[in-house]
Amino acid sequence: MSEVDTNESDSDHMQTTEPVTMSLVDHLQELRQRLIKSVLAVAVGASASYLYAAEMVSLLTAPAGKLYYMNPAEAFFAYLKVSVVAGFLLALPVVLYQAWAFTVPALVNKERKASLFLVPSSVVLFFAGLGFSYFFVLPAGIKFFMGYASDVLQPMFSLGQYLSFVISFVLPFGFIFELPLFILVLAQFGIISSQLLIRKRKIVLLLAFVIGGVVSPTPDVVSQIMMALPLLVLYEISLWIVKCIMKR
């Protein structure tokens, strides 16, 4: 092969493996465009969700039963809050795609291929966390708190406060369920190993309850345990995958 052919081959290889170079102005312009697209996606999702706000509120309030609103505008703002959160969840794949599309020019081929798995997986795990929290953890938490009712002490939940509690209780589980993906990425790049995960198990146990205390919407021990236990289970699952499947 001639020297010219060799240089052309090397040039083509560099184009497929090296990140794309862009100026700062180009980066800022692209970031602005992708932020606008993300905001528009959330706005469209929220607008569509508002049409079904009553059904969503009925679904979210089912574990608590009958609720009340204490001022004329509380129900409206409660519906609006639920619609915005639902709109964000509907637009989450679009938002993550915009974030991926913004960062992908700076990635090499191997990293781009990995991101094609990571982005969809992160969406699936996030919604799995929401589903787990809503169907298993939230009903148990509501039942526990309502267990303090008596003949002289009856629960009377405000609609706005109850929905704020549910949203702040359910959403953290979406992020907690991203833990296996985070650990697997670190293991793939050789940053951590199964031996390291085993050695740090006691620290993770402590951190799980600290995180549970920070993200829990109430200061009671039960809510903190409900937050911490899934974190510990996901950590053990990640450890098993890294040790037995990835052989790290």
Residue 4, domain member (yes or no): no
Name residue 158's beta-bridge partners. 68
C-alpha–C-alpha distance, residues 91 and 88, integer Å: 5
Residue 211, domain member (yes or no): yes
Q: What do you get for the CA distance between the two ends of the chain, in Å?
A: 41
Residue 203, domain member (yes or no): yes
On the question of pLDDT at 236 being above 80, the answer is yes
Residue 17, domain member (yes or no): no
> For residue 95, what are the domain limits?
25-147+155-247
Residue 32, domain member (yes or no): yes
Of 131 and 156, the structure prediction assigns the larger pLDDT to 131
Q: List all residues 6 or more positions away from 28 whose beta carbon is below 8 Å from its beta carbon.
A: none
Average pLDDT over residues 42-56: 93
In this prediction, what percent of the chain has a pLDDT beyond 70?
Answer: 85
pLDDT, position 170:
86
Residue 178, domain member (yes or no): yes
pLDDT in tens, 165-212: 888 888 888 888 888 888 887 887 777 888 888 888 888 888 888 877
Name residue 68's beta-bridge partners. 158
Token match 């951590």: residue?
A: 192
Average pLDDT over residues 36-57: 93
Residue 9, domain member (yes or no): no
Q: List all residues 6 or more positions away from 77 whose beta carbon is below 8 Å from its beta carbon.
A: 160
How many structural domains compose the chain? 1
Q: What is the pTM of this model?
A: 0.75
Average pLDDT over residues 119-130: 88
DSSP string for residues in 187-233? HHTTS--HHHHHHTHHHHHHHHHHHHHHH-SS-SHHHHHHHHHHHHH
Mean pLDDT across the chain: 80
Residue 174, domain member (yes or no): yes
Question: Is 101:109 a contact under the CB 8 Å cutoff?
Answer: no
Count other C-beta atoms under 10 Å from residue 246's C-beta: 12
> Which of 7-16, 27-36, 221-230, 234-243 is predicted least confidently?
7-16
